[in-house]
Every structure is written in structure tokens, then in C-alpha cells.
Amino acid sequence: MVRATFAGFQTALTSLQANSRKLDVTSQNLANMNVEGYTRQQLRTSSLNYENPVSFYMNENDVNVGYGVAMDGVMQIRDEFMDIQYRDQNTATEYNSTIEYSLNTLARFMDESNHDSIRASLDNIQKALTTMQDSSKVQDPVYEGQLQSDMNATAVLLNSAAKQIKTAEDNEFEKLSGEGTSSRGAIENINTLLREIGELNDKIKHNQLLGNSALELQDERNMKIDELSGYIPITVEYYSEKYTVTVNGQNEERYRIYTYDKSGNICGRSDWPEDLRITLDYTKKDGTQDSIILVNGTYKDASDRNYGSVDLAPNTSTTPASKYTKWSSTDSNASGPLDTQLVFSSTKTNKDGVKVSATNVTTANSSSSPTSEHVTFSGGSVQASLDMLAKSSPSGTATSGLKQGTYYGYDYYMDELDNFARTLAQEMNLYNYKGNTWDYPNESEAAATTTATNKIKAGTSDYMLFVNRDTQTARSETTTDPISGRILTTGEITAENISLSTKWVNGTTKIGLKGESSNQTVLDMLESFTQPHKALGDKTYANYMNSLSTKLANDQENNKDALDTNKTVLTSITSAKDQLSGVSLDEEAANMMTYVSSYNAAAKVITAYDETIRSLLALI
């Protein structure tokens, strides 16, 4: 005896339908195999089994058979663990890639191993002084003119290097803020990505609740999340919304993705889709790890206050809390909005080029002023830019030469060039002052830079060779910046403003002839080029510049090694992702033949059932 008359037809029909839909999915995969970000799809099926219990008195010849195949939905072939690996690696790679560009920018004018620059100009000054050791040549216009030319070349090279460092700083800051450019900066890109991800969350959720898995929208969201990971280190997790029910007078939290029995035990998976949460990971100043929610749950409009993103906006430290662009974030089980936000301080320092002083996680609300804390990220292009823009420890301080980031940034090289320019100018000016007046500061005065410099200033401007271009002096005065609180030095010689004294150029100032011999000034200057200087870390002028070039070269080499390694790992992960999630023409063609064969077989089963039924009907 057979089952219900049309049960076999129904079983074969489900096979026809499933294989037909599998062919549709294969067609969709082939149509999108060259679409960026597309993830291979697959029809998820399950067997329709016999559900009723077997009767104890059932005939032993009766055997329970299933009722065909059920189509549970179309799914993506994607590995979440591999996505995590890719995004973490992308964060590390983008950090090194951004650092590489910045260091290469510095190398164009700081790496003296590839071209003649400040180091070579110092050699020329030394050669000119060596030639002038003959007393008759000390004030000879020809030889003094050559010395002027060589010293001016050094000053011009320092001016140029300082200008290019400031330009590089401005460009780096513009990469973050977008200010002064026609393109968006990293901060605006991050905010745009967060908003778009939130909006996609909303669309995906609505589609999923209506029974459409919205796989193409998920592909679009994954691409934006991958892009976001290049800027900042993020953690992506899927979770379920919660809701509260009252059972026997007690409030219980339950997850929407599960179904529960009367006792509150999980008894199955519901059709409610999961939500997506993105958090930003960072390290506090005290070294502890923390995170902040960027996108939480499903995006909705502002009136619902059920959306999430954190504004990463360039701001000054004096901007009031009410001026912040604030995004609140809640989900259905949250007690209130998350009003923590990330803000980049853009307060200028005395260099006027170091525009980013810190990265601050700022908790701001309408009732209080923002409170900030310096934080760092584990990678990403934003942290790379912040490292290059970080303030260095100025020369002459207890922490001189230290760096905030992994690599020496623009402010470090600017400080070092300023220190070099001041030291060179001070030495040359002091020796020429001595050669013209024989009133040289004593040892204790010379050890105190301010004392020695002020002594030169007192009626001795006629004897200076190097001056501040703007003030034509070498004396410095200090004030305090009312915004940043940093000490600002005005009138001092820096790499940006060092120049030859106009009085020396027009002939009013001369190389001094007083001393133990008429060429003593030249001999002292020449000795200055071969002796270590305390202000330069006990290095000579040449060795000091060589050390800067070496530090830059070491940073470049270390970063190149890290970048090459990260690129190799990222390529390997990308290849593994493509093998799993990408569309393979050969594999889809093989699947197509399998589905067609299965479809034809199911059709033959229907034909066989039709012949069987006809035979039975013919007996009646």
C-alpha cells in the first residue's frame, strides 16, 4: 500500500522547486562575480521529515518516509572570524601605509644620504673658514663673500626644510580634518561611514523582518565596515535585542532571537534578526584598555534616539559642550542615551604647525563641560597621522628627544632643526662678538645661554652674523600662550627664520680681528665645527645632522619591514576570503550541472508517480 495518493508528487515537487531556486542563486552568483564586495550566496535547505509518532499497531510493512525538502532561505558563504582577522590586519596595514607616506615626505628634504643638503653646506662653510686661516684673508671681500655665500646657503636650506615640515604638517592635519581641501578628511569620512552603516542597519532590519535577508545590503555594509577599519581599530559583533517580560511577578530579560517555553527556557530560534554593534577600541593614558560604542543596534531618526555613532570632529579645546555634534545611542534595553563622544583637539602650539596636540575621548552633555583624556589607538590611518603630528620633547628638556608615537614626527624634526639653527647662530655670533670687542662672556656666562645671548644683544647688533630674519636680533623673550598654556618664545632664531644679518651683507659688520691673533675669530669658528656641543647632545654640527638623517632612515626601514609583513598577511587573508566568499566560475558551473541533473531526476520521479497513479486508476 502506498502513502496518500499525492504525497510522492509533493516530495518530487519540493525537489523541483529547490533545484530551480538553486539554479536562480547560481545565476545570481555568476551575474555578480565581478561586483566588488559581493559575497557568494547559497540556498539553505532542510529535510521535511515525518513528524507524527508511529502507531504501536501500525502494519510492519508501513515505513515512514519524509515529505521532501524545505527551502529555509538564501545565505551568504562568509566566515565572521576571517572578517575579524581582515579588519584587524587592515587597521595595522593602513597605519604603516600612512606612516610610510609621511616619512617619505620628510625624507625628500631630511635624508642627506641621498642628496647634498645641510650636511654638505656645513662642509662648504668649514672649507671657507679653512681658507681664511691666513690673516690677510680674514676681511678680504672675496673670501668673506664666499663665507657669506656658504653660510647663507645653510640658512636657506634650514628655512626650506622648516617650511616643508610645516607644509607637511598642514597636509597631515588636512588629511584628518579636510580643512583647506576640496576633499573630505578622515574624520568626516568616518562620520559618513558611521551614518551610512546605521542607515543600512535600518534597511537590513526592515527587510529581514519582512522575510528578505537583504544579502546585497549586507555586502554593502560589510564593505563600509572594512573601509572604516582602515581608519580606526574597531570591534564588530552581532547581538540580539532584549525585551522584558513578567513571569510570576518577576521581570525577566529575554533575547528576541530565541523562543521560550512557559517556564522561560529557550526552546528554539525565532525569526527575529540579529543586530550589529561596532565599538572603537583605544588605550587610555594610564595604559588601560577601553572602548566606545560607535554604532549600536538599528539606526533610527533623531526623534527616536535609537541610533548610534560618535562624532569625530576637529575642534579646539575651548569649544563649549553645546557646540559638539553629538550622536546618542540606545537600544531597547538601555536605560539612557550614550553621550560619550570622540573629539580631536586642534589647539595650535608655539610652532603654529603642530595643530593636533592629543586625541581625547570626551564625555559631553548639556549640563556640564566636556572632560577629556588622552588616548591612543592600536592602529589605523588616523593614529598614524596623530603620531606624526604629536608634540615632541624639545631639546634641552629632561625628556629631550622622546617621541609620543612609534616614529619620530614632524614636530621632533622641527625642534631639532630649530636647536641646530640656534646653536650654530649662537656660536658664530659669540666668536665674532669676541673678535670685534674682546669682551667675551666668561665661562659661567657662556654656559647660561640666556646670559650670553643677552650680553651680545646689549649694543652688539653690529657684530652678529646670524639673526632672526624678522627682528634682526638673536635675543629671545618668552610669553605664555593663553589657550594652550605652552611657553612661546618670540624673537629667537629658528630654522624657519635664520638668516644672515643685513649689516654683515651690506658691509657694516665685519669678521673680528681682535684676539691673540688677527685670525683668532676664524680659528675659533673653525674649531666650533670640529668640537662637540652640549646643546647638540655632545655632537658636532655634522654628526648632529647625520644622526637626524639616521633616525629618519631607521624609522623608514622599520616601517617598511612592518608594512611589508602586514601587506603579506593581509593579502593572504584576502585570498582566503576570496576562496571562501568569492564566486568561482568553475565551481558554479559544476553546481549548475548538479542542480540540472537533480531537477531532471525529480521530473522523472513525477513522471514515474504519474504512471503509477494511472496504472492504479486503470484497475478501478
The mean pLDDT of the chain is 77
Using one digit for the tens of pLDDT, what is the confidence trace for 558-604?
999 999 999 999 999 999 999 999 999 999 999 999 999 999 999 99
Using one digit for the tens of pLDDT, what is the confidence trace for 14-64?
999 999 999 999 999 999 999 999 999 999 998 887 665 555 555 555 667
Q: Which amino acid is at 561?
A: D
Assign 170 a pLDDT band (cuts: 50, 70, 90): confident
> Mutual orientation of helices 141-177 and 186-209 as an angle, nearest 10°?
20
Angstrom distance (rounded) from CA 332 to CA 272 = 14
Using one digit for the tens of pLDDT, what is the confidence trace for 371-426?
445 677 889 998 898 888 877 765 545 444 445 567 888 888 998 999 999 999 98
pLDDT at 326 over 50: no
Which cell goes with 617? 486508476
25 close to 77: Cβ distance less than 8 angstroms:
no
Phi, psi of 291 (to 5 degrees): -150, 165
Q: Is 397 left (phi over 0), alpha (psi -120 to 50) or beta?
A: beta
Angstrom distance (rounded) from CA 346 to CA 319 = 11
Q: How far is CA 124 from CA 110, 137, 159, in A?
A: 18, 17, 18
Angstrom distance (rounded) from CA 352 to CA 346 = 11
Strand (E) or helix (H) holding 160 = helix 141-177
555 close to 116: Cβ distance less than 8 angstroms:
no
225 close to 276: Cβ distance less than 8 angstroms:
no
Which cell goes with 258? 530565541
- Specify the DSSP class assigned to residue 462: G
10 Å CB burial of residue 202 (0-12, 13-18, 19+) is: middle
127 close to 525: Cβ distance less than 8 angstroms:
no
Angstrom distance (rounded) from CA 416 to CA 160 = 15
| Maximum mean pLDDT: which of 87-96, 450-459, 533-542 | 87-96
Return the half-sphere exposure (C-beta side, CA atoms, 13 A cut-off) of residue 171. Answer: 12
How confident is the model over 203-222, as a mean pLDDT?
Answer: 89
Strand (E) or helix (H) holding 193 = helix 186-209
Which is nearest to 431 in space by CA: 494, 512, 502, 538? 512
pTM: 0.79
At 356 the pLDDT is 37
pLDDT at 514 over 80: yes
Angstrom distance (rounded) from CA 410 to CA 385 = 10
- Residues in CB range of 595: below 8 A, 6 or more apart: 19, 22, 23, 26
3-state secondary structure of 321: helix
| Maximum mean pLDDT: which of 314-323, 388-397, 473-482, 487-496 | 487-496
The 3-class SS string of 8-53 reads: HHHHHHHHHHHHHHHHHHHHHHHHCCCCCCCCCEEEEEEECCCCCC
216 close to 203: Cβ distance less than 8 angstroms:
no
At 475 the pLDDT is 60
How confident is the model over 290-308, as a mean pLDDT?
Answer: 56
First-to-last alpha carbon distance for the chain, in angstroms, is 15
- b/e string for 568-588 if b means 16 or more Cβ within 10 A? ebbeebeeebeeebbbeeeeb
3-state secondary structure of 200: helix
- b/e string for 94-128 if b means 16 or more Cβ within 10 A? bbbbbbbbbbebbbebbbbeeeebbbebbebbbeb
More reliable by pLDDT, 211 or 161? 161
How confident is the model over 600-619, as a mean pLDDT?
Answer: 86
Which residue spans within 301-417 are E strands per DSSP?
A: 313-315, 340-345, 358-365, 368-371, 375-376
Beta bridge partners of 467: 499
